[in-house]
Structure 1
Amino acid sequence: MAAAPPLEKPAVPIEVDVAQPVALPPIRTNGFLDTVLDTYRSFQARRDALGLSNPGTVDQIAKEVQRDVFLTNQTFSGLRAELNKSFSIMPLFQISHAFSSGSQLLSPYTFLALYGTNNILCQAQLDSDASFSARFNSRLTNRLIFKTSVQIQPSSMAGPGGAQVSLEQDYTGDDFTASIKSINPSILEGGLTGMFIGSYLQSVTPRLALGLEAVWQKPGGGMGPEAAVSYAGRYKGDDWIASAQLLTQGGLQLSYWRKLVEKVETGVDVNLQFAGLSSANAMMGGARKEGVATLGAKYEFSRSIFRAQVDSQGKIGCLLEKVVAPPVRVTFAGEMDHVKNSAKLGLAVSIEASGEELMEQQDKVSPAIPPF
């Protein structure tokens, strides 16, 4: 009796996912270009394996201290009242009326209008003394942002006035930021004049970022150009951030920010200037050392924020923002200079006028995030 033939196993169908194409190896040309590409791919693979994040820009390397904790661009004197009206949050559109009295820096009346989407920001401000400022930011791609600002100051008893135009381009990579900025560029005087600033900040490790900033300027009137280079570093710990900037002309700025508890932040900033080290200041005599150290703290309560700072020049300042009701905010600012024996006080009331339709829109639509 003949043996029965062995049973064959049915063929198992192989499933192929056509939605995800298979990456083919690069075509080899056996040339110098292959060596360069292989080196770049190896470097890029190791760079991606580190998991680096974007470190920000060089000019904002100490933003946690100078912008969040300190009273920079927030303190004022005299009386001030603000009335803000928001018409929409997507796109963002709001206007503001500000009235001030008893201040030498603030105009009696200021009108501000703001319009923004996720890709465009338009802001204009007009003061009662005919001062005008405007800026326009455009997000061309997810990584490239173009910024433009214009300031016009009319002549008065305080000065002759003037105008300034600033053009800036920021490129944000996965682990670096490159920026080019020009202030009052012109070719009308037979050559290139103005100020040009280029910066680059790169994350080296998940905690450390290094960068540099170069400044080249040439004023009008046949004067020669000037150049300066500064080096920057930023280290981020678990609950603290330290940064440093070194100027080749003799300047050093150190900043340290630390979060003590959930709602308490503190910061220290040391600014050292070594005047007379460069050839431009050689006629002023020997080198002079000047420095200012500032210590500040920020406390966040449930409906208020308190900031205080003191520096080595004898200045003590504080700022208290209190939300009395959801649409009303009161701000108190005070500063005392022991060396000059002077004091400044400021009180501001801000009212946010928003209708019920806007409140309902906030619950349904996510607000716009313009490229500030």
Structure 2
Amino acid sequence: MAVALEEKSTSPLSFLSDNVLAAAINDTYSSLSEKRKLLGLENPGTVDNIAREVQKDVLLSNFMFSGLRCDLQKIFSVAPLFRLQHGFAMGSQALPPWQLMALYGNSNLFLQAAYSSDKSLTAWGNLRWSPKFVTKTQTAIDPRQAQAMVQIDNEYTGDDFSASVKAISPSILEGGLTGIVIGSYLQSLTPRLAIGLEGVWQRAALNSKPETAMSYCARYRSTDWIASAQYLAQGSLGASYWKRLTDKVEAGVDCQLQFAPGMGGAGGMFGNIRREGTTTVGVKYSFATSVYRAQIDSAGKCGVVLEKRVAPPVTLTFAAEIDQWKNTHKLGLAVSLEGAPEELQEIAERADQSALPPPI
């Protein structure tokens, strides 16, 4: 009787995993993962968005503009999403007179590019390798600048943590690494509390010395309010507080402080510290067809932004800002016209009609 013996094929690198040390590390990691799951921890977000609810949603940093603006949008398809937009601006120092923007996206890929009348080009791209790992890129080419800006961000979103590595304008053409590298990690300790850190390494050129900095952050989330704080090694402290007052009203407070030690003095190393800071208070009202935002800060600025959907394809935006100390002001008015396929317009019209109160 002939007996066939099968020889188990092994990989040349199998010794890295088939050993006592690797098995112990694997068992320890599996045990910690099981204990973390029993705590009911959730993903805390990213370090970049540690105060997203206040800085990017309630306050006017991303919504304030000046002058006249008109946006013409056309949606050609939804799955995948494909949209073109023409933007015209007048009387604004931040916006170009004309801009063409194209957007394409599906569940795993997102591409967006904008070309302006000043011959500048900006492109964004997101590629989702897996449900938890995504690569984000941004490229900006401006003829007025000596070199282009390239940013590559690799972000991993775990069940109870987030980690990312970001490189800004990296280069090895000079014989060494130059640019800016940023690494961040945010971990949930309890279902409400998360802490994290962010490290920055930068080197402008090979003849200059590399610089490093470390910052620390914390975020606490309750049922209807969120508090966050971030400390930078350069001596700046940021704190924010977000509160949901009602189903349609949100409020937020953001405080930015900078501590600069004085030169010499009888107080020693920590004497004669100069403190500078700004505190901003904002509120957001969300209605059926409009959104109203207002804020005021300790520097004497107060501003408002009102977005109103007049009809399913037409949106009006009004922005105003007054600086009490400098005696200056800004005014902005924008009109957005959106064209979509007939089936999307019917869905939008039915949604607007359902939001109206019943007749008396």
- SS in structure 2 of the partner of residue 310 of structure 1: strand
1:220-299 correspondence runs (5 A): 220=205, 222-276=207-261, 287-299=273-285
Per-residue deviation at 1:33? 5.7
- The answer to whether 1:111 aligns with 2:96 is no
Query: Residue in 1 aligned with 2:313?
Result: 327
Q: 1:71 to 1:34 in 2, by over 3 A?
A: same
Per-residue deviation at 1:30? 11
Q: Runs of 5+ in structure 2 lacking a partner?
A: 1-17, 265-270, 350-360
Report the more deviating stretch, 181-190 or 116-125: 181-190
Query: Residue in 1 aligned with 2:327?
Result: 341
Instruction: Count residues with an aligned counterpart.
Output: 327
Q: Over alpha carbons, which structure has the higher Rg? A: 1
Per-residue deviation at 1:362? 9.0
Q: 1:74 aligns with which of 43, 63, 67?
A: 63
- SS in structure 2 of the partner of residue 261 of structure 1: coil
1:1-372 correspondence runs (5 A): 36-155=25-144, 160=145, 162-220=147-205, 222-276=207-261, 287-359=273-345
Task: Note the alpha carbon deviations across 1:86-107, whole angstroms, 9 max, x for none.
Answer: 0000000000001111111111
Q: 1:36 to 1:80 in 2, by over 3 A?
A: closer
Per-residue deviation at 1:289? 1.2
The answer to whether the 8 A contact 1:250-1:277 is kept is: no
The answer to whether the 8 A contact 2:186-2:194 is kept is: yes
With CA pairs under 8 Å and 6+ residues apart, which has the higher RCO, 1 or 2?
Answer: 1
The answer to whether the 8 A contact 1:306-1:319 is kept is: yes
The answer to whether the 8 A contact 1:80-1:98 is kept is: yes
Task: Note the alpha carbon deviations across 1:54-98, whole angstroms, 9 max, x for none.
Answer: 111000010000111011121100011110000000000000001
Take 2:106 and 2:30, find their aligned partners in 1: how far apart are those partners? 37
Q: 1:93 to 1:147 in 2, by over 3 A?
A: same
Per-residue deviation at 1:166? 0.3
Take 1:215 and 1:295, find their aligned partners in 2: how far apart are those partners? 30
Per-residue deviation at 1:36? 4.3
Task: Note the alpha carbon deviations across 1:22-42, whole angstroms, 9 max, x for none.
Answer: xxxxxxx99566654443333
- SS in structure 1 of the partner of residue 245 of structure 2: strand
- SS in structure 2 of the partner of residue 335 of structure 1: strand
The answer to whether the 8 A contact 1:249-1:277 is kept is: no
Take 2:172 and 2:340, find their aligned partners in 1: how far apart are those partners? 47
* Superposition TM-score, scaled by structure 1 size: 0.83
The answer to whether the 8 A contact 2:139-2:151 is kept is: yes
The answer to whether the 8 A contact 2:187-2:196 is kept is: yes
Take 1:33 and 1:254, find their aligned partners in 2: how far apart are those partners? 42
Q: Which amino acid in the other structure matches residue 125 of structure 1?
A: A
* Superposition TM-score, scaled by structure 2 size: 0.86
Take 1:278 and 1:69, find their aligned partners in 2: how far apart are those partners? 39
Q: Which amino acid in the other structure matches residue 120 of structure 2?
A: S
Take 1:89 and 1:37, find their aligned partners in 2: how far apart are those partners? 44
Take 1:100 and 1:68, find their aligned partners in 2: how far apart are those partners? 24
The answer to whether the 8 A contact 2:70-2:88 is kept is: yes
Take 1:214 and 1:359, find their aligned partners in 2: how far apart are those partners? 47
Take 2:263 and 2:19, find their aligned partners in 1: how far apart are those partners? 52
Take 1:278 and 1:53, find their aligned partners in 2: how far apart are those partners? 46
Q: 1:31 to 1:193 in 2, by over 3 A?
A: closer
Take 2:150 and 2:263, find their aligned partners in 1: how far apart are those partners? 29
